[in-house]
Chains A and B, each alone.
Chain A
Amino acid sequence: AQTVTQSQPEMSVQEAETVTLSCTYDTSESDYYLFWYKQPPSRQMILVIRQEAYKQQNATENRFSVNFQKAAKSFSLKISDSQLGDAAMYFCAYRRGDKIIFGKGTRLHILP
């Protein structure tokens, strides 16, 4: 069975600094997708960034980038120039077919 593990329940970062959130997953498949979702307090979950497993190039979306290590089954999220609005729960997710499996999340605090 596929599993997604986020080993950091909470993290804090100073505003304007860089932070990296960790995620590992377990799968025997070779073709799948990985996502990072952001869930601000009392607000809906939104997609931050996505990565196709067959692509070696790491995805980048403005201040958000990933470090995808397929052999190690690692998919970390780097947030550069952290902003107060980045404070949220961040969920790493694995998708194959129509089912998404989420990790337990990392709560990110931004320190002004």
Chain B
Amino acid sequence: DTGVSQDPRHKITKRGQNVTFRCDPISEHNRLYWYRQTLGQGPEFLTYFQNEAQLEKSRLLSDRFSAERPKGSFSTLEIQRTEQGDSAMYLCASSQGDSTYQPQHFGDGTRLSIL
């Protein structure tokens, strides 16, 4: 069990640029979640996948955001035309099975800074 891995750890980019983050869940976990955490706040749910299917998206996920999990393993989160308000920590989590009792295991996150 190598844990949930996120890449990159930090991303600095200019406003208007596109960025893409990657998340590798724990290998046997079929569920994968994306959260956004801004300074002084708890994580906010963005979206989640069960295998390759994206089952729910938050209203926080504007049209500039897109997430994929093409083979049911790793996932990518892309933000197009970044804005200052996108600066945050983006957290990925994974869990196993269908039970809502199964805990989510979090990665270290990708910290995005928009100049």
Interchain nearest-CB distance for B49 vs A (Å): 10
Known: A44-B107, A44-B108, A98-B56. A52 touches B101 (CB 8 A): yes
Contact A45 B56 (CB under 8 A): no
Interface majority SS on A: helix, strand, loop or mixed?
strand
Interchain nearest-CB distance for B6 vs A (Å): 9
Contact B106 A44 (CB under 8 A): yes
Task: Please indicate the chain A residues that have their CB under 8 angstroms from the CB of B44 in the complex.
Answer: 102
Task: Please indicate the chain A residues that have their CB under 8 angstroms from the CB of B101 in the complex.
Answer: 33, 50, 52
Interchain nearest-CB distance for A102 vs B (Å): 3
Instruction: State which of B42, B45, B48 has its C-beta within 8 Å of the C-beta of A103.
Output: B42
| B112 part of interface (Cβ distance < 8 Å) | no
| A78 part of interface (Cβ distance < 8 Å) | no
Contact B43 A91 (CB under 8 A): yes
Closest B residue to A92 by beta carbon equals: B42
Q: In the bound complex, how far is the Cα of B22 from the Cα of A32, in angstroms?
A: 30
Binding site for A on B (CB under 8 A): 3-4, 31, 33, 40-45, 48, 55-56, 91, 93, 100-101, 103-109
Known: A44-B107, A44-B108, A44-B109. A97 touches B43 (CB 8 A): no
Contact B41 A99 (CB under 8 A): no
Interface majority SS on B: helix, strand, loop or mixed?
loop
Contact B42 A104 (CB under 8 A): yes
Q: How large is the interface on A (under 10, 10 to 19, 20 to 34, 35 or more residues)?
A: 20 to 34
Known: A33-B100, A96-B100, A98-B31. A105 touches B42 (CB 8 A): yes
Known: A43-B108, A103-B42. A50 touches B100 (CB 8 A): no
Complex interface residues of chain A between 85 and 112 (CB less than 8 A to chain B): 91, 93, 95-105
Task: Please indicate the chain B residues that have their CB under 8 angstroms from the CB of A4 in the complex.
Answer: 42
Instruction: State which of B31, B40, B91, B100 has its C-beta within 8 Å of the C-beta of A45.
Output: B91
- List 18 A–B pairs whose Cβ atoms lie within 8 Å, in order of A's numbering: A33-B101, A35-B103, A43-B108, A44-B3, A44-B4, A44-B107, A47-B103, A50-B101, A50-B103, A91-B42, A91-B43, A97-B100, A99-B48, A99-B56, A100-B43, A100-B45, A103-B42, A105-B40
